[in-house]
Each structure stands twice: as structure tokens, then as C-alpha cells.
């Protein structure tokens, strides 16, 4: 395990995940060895074994402390405020589709909820109601980040369902404009890109890349429940 004291690893390939990556992440006194998938969740045990095999000798001799699997919380929870309880971060389902980003949104939603609740309390004179928290924290959060979630959801649906679409995405990312928009969107946490000419060109390139990707990509592995899996994208 010494190998991982100063090292994190990411693995890609159909053996560890058809649509995500496998990882070995060092923690304080242990390592997390994991993988993820949206499209083939029933096979998670097979992918977990594959990532352990890939890490191989580097984790051999280690004691298994816990084996677990969880859904990525990338759907808003149906109720994010109940009475005077407000959910934030993963508990609220704030991980974005496509990028799987949750740290910023966890910190931001935590701060936003706290600031709104403190302000509603008027220096301790008032207990905020559910409706007041919804009208402040939820309304502001959704107003600011709602469009980002919608765009990333669409991107995931277009570019993640199979190898052809994923190859198209890789091809598209060679474009400087796509790189700039992606970088800026990560930096500012809202979807950037408002150059109509470049956006029009991007639409054309997207269609071209999708046609090429679908024609040339390696066929997908068989999934045990393709219909249910596709619904999860």
C-alpha cells in the first residue's frame, strides 16, 4: 500500500467500467478502490473485481475493510426542504450529470442555505418556515444553477449512451472552442458559450462527429438489462 501514500490512480476500459472510470484514491489510513457506472449497474460487482485485478500487486496483502456501492446523487431529491430541515450537497442530489461534479455545489448550496436561514431568522427573532426556506434558498439555487443541470443532462443523454456517442464527444473535444467553453463552464460553474457563429459551427460539428462516431466506434459490450440501463442516463 505504500505505493499509494502519494499517489491516486484512475483506470479506463470496458473491464472496469463501460462509461465511467475505476480509481484507487488514497484516504487518511486506507485506500478507496472503486469504479462507477450509470449504464450497467447490475454488473457493478464484476467491475469492482476488475478494478481490484487491475490494481493487482499494488493492493495485495491489504485488508478489505468494507465493500459498498451507492448511486451517484445526480437527481434533485423530490423534497429538499421539509419543515425546518434543508438538504444541501449530495443529500439534495446536487452532483451534475456529465461532469459528475459535486464538491463545488455541495459547498455552495451549504453556504447559500445557511446564509438564507440566518437572514430569515432576523437575529434570532423568527423561526423560518418551510415555505420561506423554499422561497429563498431553493429559489436562488435553482435560479442560478438550474440551467446548468438542464444543459449537462442533455449533454449526458446525447454523448453518453454508447461507444459511438462517446467517441463523438472525444472527437468534438479537439475543437478549441469546445475546450474554451468547457474550461470556462467549469471555472464559472454556469454554462458558457454565447458566440452564435461558433455555436452554429459547433452544431454542425456535433452532427458530423456523431455520424462518424456511430459508424466507426467499437460495438458496446452486452448489458444485462439494456432498457433499464439506458433509462438511467
- Kindly state the smallest distance separating residue 201's Cβ from ligand FAD, in Å: 30
Choice from 43, 95, 113, 181 touching ligand FAD (CB under 6 A) = 95
CB of 61 to ligand FAD, least distance (A): 23
9-13/81-82 β-pairing: unpaired
Least gap, CB of 215 to ligand FAD (angstroms): 32
Using CB under 6 A as the binding rule, whether residue 90 contacts ligand FAD is answered as yes
The residue range among 77-85, 87-95, 182-190, 213-221 that interacts with ligand FAD, by the rule CB under 6 A, is 87-95
Strands (E), the chain: 9-13, 17-26, 31-35, 81-82, 85-86
Burial, 81: exposed, middle or buried (Cβ in 10 Å; 0-12, 13-18, 19+)? Answer: buried
How far, in Å, CA of 154 to CA of 96, rounded?
11
Is the Cβ of residue 77 or residue 212 nearer to ligand FAD in the bound state? 77
List the x/- string, 132-151, binding to ligand FAD by CB under 6 A.
--------------------
Residue 161, burial from CB neighbour count under 10 angstroms (0-12, 13-18, 19+): middle
Closest CA to 144 of 156, 154, 132, 136: 136
Pick 58 or 189: Cβ nearer ligand FAD: 189
Residue ranges of the alpha helices (H) in 69-162? 89-92, 103-120, 130-133, 139-159
Binds ligand FAD (CB under 6 A): choice among 17, 18, 22, 23: 23
Residue closer to ligand FAD, measured from CB, 22 or 164: 22
Q: Which of residues 98-137 bind ligand FAD (CB under 6 A)?
A: 100-104, 106
**Sites of contact with ligand FAD (CB under 6 A):** 23, 34, 89-91, 95, 100-104, 106
Amino acid at each position: 500500500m505504500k505505493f499509494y501514500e502519494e499517489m491516486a490512480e484512475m483506470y479506463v476500459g470496458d473491464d472496469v467500467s463501460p462509461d465511467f472510470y475505476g480509481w484507487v484514491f488514497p484516504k487518511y489510513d486506507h485506500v478507496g478502490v472503486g469504479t462507477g457506472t450509470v449504464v450497467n449497474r447490475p454488473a457493478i460487482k464484476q467491475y469492482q473485481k476488475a478494478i481490484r485485478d487491475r490494481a493487482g500487486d499494488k493492493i495485495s496483502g491489504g485488508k478489505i475493510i468494507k465493500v459498498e456501492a451507492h448511486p451517484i446523487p445526480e437527481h434533485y431529491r423530490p423534497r429538499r426542504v421539509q419543515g425546518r430541515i434543508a438538504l444541501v450537497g449530495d443529500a439534495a442530489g446536487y452532483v451534475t450529470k456529465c461532469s459528475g461534479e459535486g464538491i463545488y455545489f455541495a459547498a455552495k448550496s451549504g453556504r447559500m442555505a445557511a446564509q438564507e436561514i440566518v437572514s430569515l431568522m432576523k437575529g434570532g427573532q423568527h423561526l423560518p418556515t418551510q415555505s420561506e426556506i423554499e422561497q429563498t434558498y431553493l429559489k436562488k439555487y435553482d435560479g442560478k444553477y438550474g440551467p446548468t443541470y438542464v444543459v449537462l443532462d442533455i449533454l449526458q443523454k446525447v454523448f453518453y449512451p454508447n461507444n459511438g456517442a462517446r467517441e463523438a464527444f472525444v472527437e468534438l473535444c479537439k475543437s478549441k472552442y469546445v475546450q474554451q467553453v468547457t474550461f470556462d463552464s467549469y471555472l464559472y460553474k454556469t454554462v458558457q458559450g454565447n458566440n452564435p457563429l461558433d455555436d452554429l459551427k459547433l452544431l454542425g460539428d456535433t452532427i458530423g462527429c456523431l455520424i462518424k462516431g456511430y459508424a466507426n466506434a467499437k460495438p458496446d459490450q452486452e448489458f444485462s438489462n439494456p432498457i433499464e440501463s439506458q433509462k438511467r442516463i
